[in-house]
Structure 1
Amino acid sequence: MSTQDYATRISQIVQEHEADIGADWMAQLEALTVRSNAVSKEQLRKHCQQFLTAFSTATRGGELQNIEHRSWDEVRDLLAEISSSRARGGSTPGETATFVFSLKQPLFTRLNAGFAGDQAVLANASWVVSTLLDKLGLYTIEVFQRARDQIIVRQQQELLELSTPVVKLWNGILALPLIGTLDSARTQVVMENILQKIVDTGAAIAIIDITGVPTVDTLVAQHLMKTIAAARLMGADCIISGIRPQIAQTIVHLGVNLEDVMTKATLADAFVVALERTGTSIIKKD
């Protein structure tokens, strides 16, 4: 029996017994799936029906060895959609791949009946289908991992933006409290946020508070100087606050030149200087 004959017969078996295969497949999935509710069951049933229809159509193309063939485009697109939605929904790669792997038993049951007269042909057909489903299952894992990686990258970007808030302290005065390590990626976000805030508010002073930065090395100092230089190009002067004794010693030992940058020990001290530079004074009320 040729590959085309196998493909035609397998497609016929799937079409003839689609309802029974779908019912058995759903039973398998419900027994294996931990997360189960009315909505997910309905969605699962819909995905099973769509996949069986697309699978039957694809097998008629006769290409059972290469799932990258154009005849499998619809199947791959459907699996990509299912895998991506499950990645967003919190499923695991194993649970996603199980969607395909669990189809083996219902299919093999029908193949046994369809090729009962010839055990050699049955063995070959079972091997072809098993290998095919293995490839499709691995494809779902690959798509799932790519989707999960994209989610992680997006979340990291969102965390970076949330961890670098620019606060308006007073008219013409901004504050940027930094907490945690300052690397190249975060420096870019810091620079973009503070420059945009300077444009939006027309601020003349920006206070960069590094009280929450655990250590300052040469790289961190360079990042700070780049941010200060960019702010100055936008017409705003910068004050660095939060210079603790340990950080002051480190900066001296590193030989970092901060002579042309105003530095203060605390954010409050820096705020007082900023008020003076903007022509504002604080008067204590009796």
Structure 2
Amino acid sequence: MQLTQAGGQRLAESELRDQSQRFLHGLREALRAGATADLDGPEWERVRSVLADISRRRAREGYSPADTATFVFSLKQPVFVRLRAALAHDPARLAEETWDISVLLDKLGLYTVALYQASREEVIARQQRELMELSTPVVQLWDDILALPLIGTLDSARTQTVMESLLQKIVDSGASIAIIDITGVPTVDTLVAQHLLKTVAAARLMGADCIISGIRPQIAQTIVHLGVDLADVTTKATLADAFQIALKRTGGSIGAIPAR
């Protein structure tokens, strides 16, 4: 049996052989211990561990759930051949044993699919967290001044990431002003405004004042229409305007370099 990733890369023969040997050894031990088809039994602990490791690795490496289940289902043919050779003289027992092993391997195959799905969900969740972290960078514009450019929709999960990133940067840098730029936020509704206010409040508790920039005319109208109170928050139309205010508050200035 050969397995191919979505990108076309095949599983190494040595790795497939090792996985097969571990699975078969565990299966043999379970059956010798009198295991039933109930996979929750202690006799199946080693098999469950082997299949969990295989399923997680294949989920991370991009193999399909069908490939993962086929790893177990491919055992049916050689087992059935052995059963026919051993029980050809007893058709009734051959049918019974064939059915029992078929049910067992089906359960093990479906078990790998469930593990694969759980592993893929873990991978997707981790990637989403990493993307949120990448999409909420906190940069230091100047001594004592931070900037947090937001792009895309601001929901509850992302707000938590935003606050954690901003607060940690405030602690690390000791900055007293943070500019939250929402130029890249497509819409601002009541929920988004509440998320922004929570972030501002959290930053203030850490000793940093916040300026919100990127307030476009349509966003200003929306905020007024929604009745959101931003009276205690300094707002500016552009990041440049907010940076000028931040420089004044920190006593900094930018001047042209004289010509030589």
Which TM bucket (shorter chain)?
over 0.9
Aligned counterpart in structure 2 of residue 210 of structure 1, from 182, 185, 190: 182
For residues 31-51 of structure 1, give each alpha carbon's deviation from its aligned partner in whole angstroms, at most 9, with x where no partner exists.
xx3358786211001111121
Asked if 1 retains the 8 angstrom alpha-carbon contact of 2:138 and 2:148, the reply is: yes
Aligned counterpart in structure 2 of residue 163 of structure 1, from 124, 135, 151: 135
Using the size of structure 2 for normalisation, the TM-score is: 0.95
Letter in 1 for 2:190: T
Cα distance in 1, alignment partners of residues 257 and 10 from structure 2: 65
Q: Say if 1:234 and 1:90 are closer, same or farther in 2 by CA, change over 3 A.
A: same
Cα distance in 1, alignment partners of residues 157 and 77 from structure 2: 49
Asked if 2 retains the 8 angstrom alpha-carbon contact of 1:218 and 1:254, the reply is: yes
Q: Say if 1:37 and 1:166 are closer, same or farther in 2 by CA, change over 3 A.
A: closer
Identity %: 64
What residue is the counterpart of 1:279 in the other structure?
Answer: 251
Which ranges in structure 1 are unaligned for 5 or more consecutive residues?
1-28
Cα distance in 1, alignment partners of residues 254 and 37 from structure 2: 79
Cα distance in 2, alignment partners of residues 37 and 169 from structure 1: 44
Number of residue pairs the alignment of both structures matches = 256
Return the offset for 1:284: 3.2
1:181 is the counterpart of 2:153: yes
What residue is the counterpart of 1:147 in the other structure?
Answer: 119
Asked if 2 retains the 8 angstrom alpha-carbon contact of 1:64 and 1:128, the reply is: no
Which ranges in structure 2 are unaligned for 5 or more consecutive residues?
none
Return the offset for 1:196: 1.0
Letter in 2 for 1:34: T
Q: Say if 1:38 and 1:181 are closer, same or farther in 2 by CA, change over 3 A.
A: closer
1:228 is the counterpart of 2:200: yes
Return the offset for 1:62: 2.1
Return the offset for 1:282: 2.5
1:244 is the counterpart of 2:216: yes
Using the size of structure 1 for normalisation, the TM-score is: 0.87
1:34 is the counterpart of 2:4: yes
What residue is the counterpart of 1:73 in the other structure?
Answer: 45
Letter in 2 for 1:224: L
Q: CA RMSD in A?
A: 1.4
Return the offset for 1:283: 2.4
Return the offset for 1:285: 4.1
What residue is the counterpart of 1:108 in the other structure?
Answer: 80
Cα distance in 2, alignment partners of residues 218 and 66 from structure 1: 52
Cα distance in 2, alignment partners of residues 118 and 245 from structure 1: 85
Cα distance in 1, alignment partners of residues 127 and 82 from structure 2: 45
Alignment of 1:40-79 (within 5 A): 40-79=12-51
What SS does the aligned partner of 1:148 have?
helix
Runs of 4+ with deviation above 4 angstroms = 35-39
Cα distance in 2, alignment partners of residues 225 and 38 from structure 1: 51
Aligned counterpart in structure 2 of residue 258 of structure 1, from 210, 230, 239: 230
Cα distance in 1, alignment partners of residues 120 and 41 from structure 2: 26
